[in-house]
Amino acid sequence: MGWTVRKQLLCPACGDVMAEAIHRRFPAMLTVLATAGYEVMPRRSGAVERDLLEGTLAGVPDEQTLRDMLLRYHADLIYELMCPRGHVTYRAAPAVVDALRDTPGTWVTL
């Protein structure tokens, strides 16, 4: 185990690769790269919540689950990830880090 892990994030709906996550423990840094190669920039929880309330959020799989998640991670950054089939997954940065840490191997289902 090194200080940096690189893992593939899998879509919870279909299992396709959505993104690659690079997590460095110290100094702490999380980078998420889309399959197309660009860096996915997370947004503040409040901004995602505002879009949800205004109905402008793309592809919300389960609104109540997303509301609960935004409440729980109200002070955190939220990643919006889309798999090649168009499924959208919202995850808070600490939840992504926990999944990377808790899942052995290089494939992580969010």
Residue ranges in contact with Zn ion by CB under 5 A: 11, 13-14, 16, 83, 85, 87
Q: Omega of the bond prior to 27 within 30 degrees of 0, cis?
A: yes
Which C-beta is closer to Zn ion: that of 43 or that of 87? 87
Closest contact distance (angstroms) between CB of 70 and Zn ion is 21
Which C-beta is closer to Zn ion: that of 14 or that of 53? 14
Helix residue ranges per DSSP H, the chain: 45-54, 63-72, 93-102
The C-alpha atoms of residue 77 and residue 39 are separated, in whole angstroms, by 14
Closest contact distance (angstroms) between CB of 17 and Zn ion is 9
Which C-beta is closer to Zn ion: that of 34 or that of 47? 34
Closest contact distance (angstroms) between CB of 97 and Zn ion is 22
Count of H helices and E strands in the chain?
Answer: 3, 7
Closest contact distance (angstroms) between CB of 6 and Zn ion is 21
Which C-beta is closer to Zn ion: that of 46 or that of 84? 84
Q: How far is CA 105 from CA 14, 100, 101, 108, 109, in A?
A: 19, 9, 10, 8, 11
